[in-house]
Structure 1
Amino acid sequence: MKKLDSLQNQFGDQIEIITISSENQKRLEKFIESYKTSLRIASDTAHTKNFIYKIIPHTILIDKNGIVRAITSPENIDRKVIENLLADKDIALEVKDDFYINPELKVETIKTIANADYRIELKSYDQEKRGGSRPLKDTEGNINGIEMWNSPIPRLYQTLFNVPSPKRMIFKDSLTEDDFPYEKAHQYNFTIQVSDKYQENWRALGVEFLNEHFDVNAKMGLDSLMCYVLKNTNNLLKPSEAESTEFMFMGPVLQSKKIKMSRLADYLENFTSIPVVDQTNLLGEYDIALEWQAEDPKTIHVELKKYGLELIRSEEKLPVEIMEIYKKK
């Protein structure tokens, strides 16, 4: 947004930058209030009929005659590109096509184990899938495994160990985050699903499989780190009366029912630079709904205050569970 603001200011009324979002008007008004942008912001879904995409941000460049000159990623737009657009010169930018399938890029099965008790499968990058994961369930609705898509090695381990965020990853043996770039050659698809026999141990079974296959391994440990602490200040929370647990979030919007405070701390850790530790001493399950502005971190404190909660930085290092990634010996 800052880059777009800058370009609009540089070229004035020679161009008009319109930012488009499918968010509702109320959400966008809050964004405008916190971000203070001078750009036009449109709440619109009709544009997706003409401009199809899966991943944002997505940039469309249109000249004064209404001709689409580029559909690309916003990092490709700079002052020179705008000058060429205004001068009606050729514009050669990489096309952002979220639906392009490279026929030469095949999904390869790297290793599979299948028997009466479990099925484990490791595959290479799949261009038809986005990164992410989903739990797998048996016929009675019990979680008995997981499927992960296009994830680098640390992310595979993080998910299996159920580590809240990358802030708890510690790289050993001269390894760094740069050794695991978010590139196709370093992304994997992983599936594990087990029978009742391994119902309680499928995560450990998955870790064992990865440890055997990769040259780097991972394990859980303890370390002392600076943290944010979630505290209960006013005892406003009442135990949930919901029949079942619900947990859904899209960025700064959280809708949840019957969750433990530790799960709220895990959610908050997605938006902090250091781990979040639950020190509320609230042992029940609660209904929590948050709607704050990622552009204005202060708003999350306002939302938490409604529940008598406070997020503060610890004055000293605290012991937290971490995940160590190291070279296989």
Structure 2
Amino acid sequence: MTYTKITLIAFIALLPFFSNAQSSKLIGKPAPEIVFKEVLNDSKLSYKLSDFKGKAVIIDFWSTSCRPCIESFPKLEKWQKDYQKDLKIITIAQDKKARIVKFLQNRKLALPVVLDTNDQQYVKYFPHEAVPHTIFIDKSGMVQSITTAGLVTDKHIKELIAGKKVTAQYSDGVEKEIENLIGSEQGETDVQIVQKPFDKNAYSVYKSFKNGRLTFINMSYSTIYEILYNYPNRTRTRWENPKSYYRGWGASDQAIGLEIYAPKFTKEQASSAILGYLSGIAPVKVKFEEREIDVKVLTKLSDTVKMEEAKSDDTPAVSTSANGIEMKSGGIENLASFLEDNLSKPIIDETGLTKKYNLSFPWYPEKPNACLEELEKIGLTLTDGKRKVKLMILVADK
């Protein structure tokens, strides 16, 4: 491959940013008098924030499609139980009531759930664009911190209850569109690659190939390789040294910012160029090996399946979310890939199905094993097994 021009700019500091100053301005000010309506899973159906005067209050915004939100529930439940005399935790769910009812059937929750489905009436008090989003209010009614439950520790809870300054890291829960690393274009024939260090104040962002530009911000070497090689995330990646330093996240050289700008390149050419760049400078290298590993095997329960066959003139369309997969004229490989992503285990398709199907397959993050019941409804099942699988092996000196 011939480049007209290559410009390499390495290790330029990124500028810190906070994407919604509105939220941070609320810290240190009295919390608004909020009336909580449509309260589920509590002894009362409604209450006001002032009803908990003399207690510290944590308001946690979440949704059923937010895995980090759900993963934070055990510690929120523990804190509510351990500090019930001094603390009230209120969760606000941004889902329809029917979905929350189903969630509570699948996963018992020892916290109240306030429905926020009426034009996001509670978001106006604490503006944000993404969840989790967690508000700390002290016993005097002052907003002490705005963070996410995943960043909260027992130390922060004790600070809140004691009336001390809460040292939880600020986060507004917004993933802002970050500026390009390279900046303005330098002509139609230039090829530029820029590398920048990890920025503790920025989010982890991947911008797919568009207009000759491919961008990674605050991403680990392993994730960058998985994207460039179009390899399943986590499930088919292994480290040659399981204790490798670069398996971590947070040190300045464990994740980087990396961008290519090549207006004449295709996506494949841009990916190849970055891989060539990484082969010369990255502390993590890759190789591919076939190994026998534990997998889940997708098979039919009988000779027939209970899925609608697509018509020959149906336009293929597949969309996925944390709440399921919708297929229009999609192959069974799309369902297998969705299951692999959400179960975090290689899925081997041994159904023998080659037709295209229309399928609406629900997913419940709070109860992953419910997928077995859903699969049975369409005549499929998953079983444990061992198979030889081509793996991406990550190699590092330390």
- Is residue 223 of structure 2 the alignment partner of residue 155 of structure 1? yes
One-letter identity of the residue aligned with 1:318: R
- Is residue 395 of structure 2 the alignment partner of residue 326 of structure 1? yes
One-letter identity of the residue aligned with 2:145: A
User: Between the two proteins, what is the percent identity of the paired residues?
Assistant: 23
Q: Where does residue 33 of structure 1 map in the other structure?
A: 105
- Of residues 286, 291, 297 in structure 2, which corresponds to 1:223? 291
Deviates more, 1:90-99 or 1:39-48: 90-99
The unaligned stretches of length 5 or more in structure 2 are: 1-72
Using the alignment, how far apart are the partners of 2:310 and 2:298 within structure 1? Answer: 19
Deviates more, 1:290-299 or 1:220-229: 290-299
Residues 178 and 28 (structure 1 numbering): CA distance in 2 closer, same or farther, change over 3 Å? farther
Write the mapping of 1:301-312 to structure 2, written as runs, cut at 5 A. 301-312=372-383
One-letter identity of the residue aligned with 1:157: Y
Residues 301 and 118 (structure 1 numbering): CA distance in 2 closer, same or farther, change over 3 Å? farther
- Of residues 289, 294, 297 in structure 1, which corresponds to 2:360? 289
One-letter identity of the residue aligned with 1:7: W
Q: Give the SS at the match of 1:236.
A: coil
Deviates more, 1:189-198 or 1:179-188: 189-198
Q: Give the SS at the match of 1:296.
A: coil
- Determine if contact 1:175/1:326 at 8 Å carries over to the other structure: no
**Post-superposition shift, 1:113?**
11
**Post-superposition shift, 1:60?**
1.5
- Determine if contact 1:168/1:322 at 8 Å carries over to the other structure: yes
- Determine if contact 2:188/2:264 at 8 Å carries over to the other structure: no
Residues 293 and 235 (structure 1 numbering): CA distance in 2 closer, same or farther, change over 3 Å? same
Q: Where does residue 52 of structure 1 map in the other structure?
A: 127
**Post-superposition shift, 1:14?**
4.6
**Post-superposition shift, 1:58?**
3.0
Q: Give the SS at the match of 1:28.
A: helix
Write the mapping of 1:73-152 to structure 2, written as runs, cut at 5 A. 73-74=148-149, 75-78=151-154, 85=160, 89-98=163-172, 116=189, 120-125=193-198, 130-137=203-210, 146-152=214-220
- Determine if contact 2:156/2:168 at 8 Å carries over to the other structure: no
TM (norm. structure 1) is: 0.78
**Post-superposition shift, 1:296?**
1.4
- Of residues 84, 92, 95 in structure 2, which corresponds to 1:23? 95
In the TM superposition, what whole-angstrom CA distance separates every residue of 1:252-311 from its partner, at most 9, and x where no partner exists? Answer: 432233333223222211232431111121123333322222221221112222322212
Residues 266 and 149 (structure 1 numbering): CA distance in 2 closer, same or farther, change over 3 Å? farther
One-letter identity of the residue aligned with 1:68: V
Using the alignment, how far apart are the partners of 2:202 and 2:318 within structure 1? Answer: 23
Using the alignment, how far apart are the partners of 2:147 and 2:209 within structure 1? Answer: 36
Residues 77 and 206 (structure 1 numbering): CA distance in 2 closer, same or farther, change over 3 Å? closer
- Is residue 133 of structure 2 the alignment partner of residue 63 of structure 1? no
Residues 127 and 153 (structure 1 numbering): CA distance in 2 closer, same or farther, change over 3 Å? same
Q: Where does residue 26 of structure 2 map in the other structure?
A: none
Q: Where does residue 103 of structure 1 map in the other structure?
A: none
Using the alignment, how far apart are the partners of 1:318 and 1:280 within structure 2? Answer: 15
In the TM superposition, what whole-angstrom CA distance separates every residue of 1:218-237 from its partner, at most 9, and x where no partner exists? Answer: 13332111100112334223
Using the alignment, how far apart are the partners of 1:298 and 1:226 within structure 2? Answer: 17
Q: Where does residue 237 of structure 1 map in the other structure?
A: 307
Q: Give the SS at the match of 2:343.
A: coil
Using the alignment, how far apart are the partners of 2:156 and 2:97 within structure 1? Answer: 31
- Determine if contact 2:159/2:166 at 8 Å carries over to the other structure: no
Using the alignment, how far apart are the partners of 2:74 and 2:356 within structure 1? Answer: 41
**Post-superposition shift, 1:159?**
0.7
One-letter identity of the residue aligned with 1:325: L
- Of residues 331, 342, 351 in structure 2, which corresponds to 1:271? 342
- Of residues 67, 72, 80 in structure 1, which corresponds to 2:147? 72
**Post-superposition shift, 1:194?**
6.2
In the TM superposition, what whole-angstrom CA distance separates every residue of 1:140-193 from its partner, at most 9, and x where no partner exists? Answer: xxxx87443321100010111111121211222x36454232226232333457
TM (norm. structure 2) is: 0.66
- Determine if contact 1:218/1:325 at 8 Å carries over to the other structure: yes
- Of residues 36, 43, 57 in structure 1, which corresponds to 2:115? 43
Residues 226 and 113 (structure 1 numbering): CA distance in 2 closer, same or farther, change over 3 Å? farther
Using the alignment, how far apart are the partners of 1:69 and 1:228 within structure 2? Answer: 46
What is the RMSD of the two structures over their aligned residues, measured on CA atoms? 3.5
Using the alignment, how far apart are the partners of 1:177 and 1:58 within structure 2? Answer: 32
- Is residue 363 of structure 2 the alignment partner of residue 299 of structure 1? no
Q: Where does residue 179 of structure 1 map in the other structure?
A: 246
**Post-superposition shift, 1:85?**
4.8
How many equivalent residue pairs?
A: 311
**Post-superposition shift, 1:240?**
2.6
Using the alignment, how far apart are the partners of 1:289 and 1:11 within structure 2? Answer: 43
Using the alignment, how far apart are the partners of 1:129 and 1:224 within structure 2? Answer: 39
One-letter identity of the residue aligned with 1:47: Y
Residues 177 and 28 (structure 1 numbering): CA distance in 2 closer, same or farther, change over 3 Å? farther
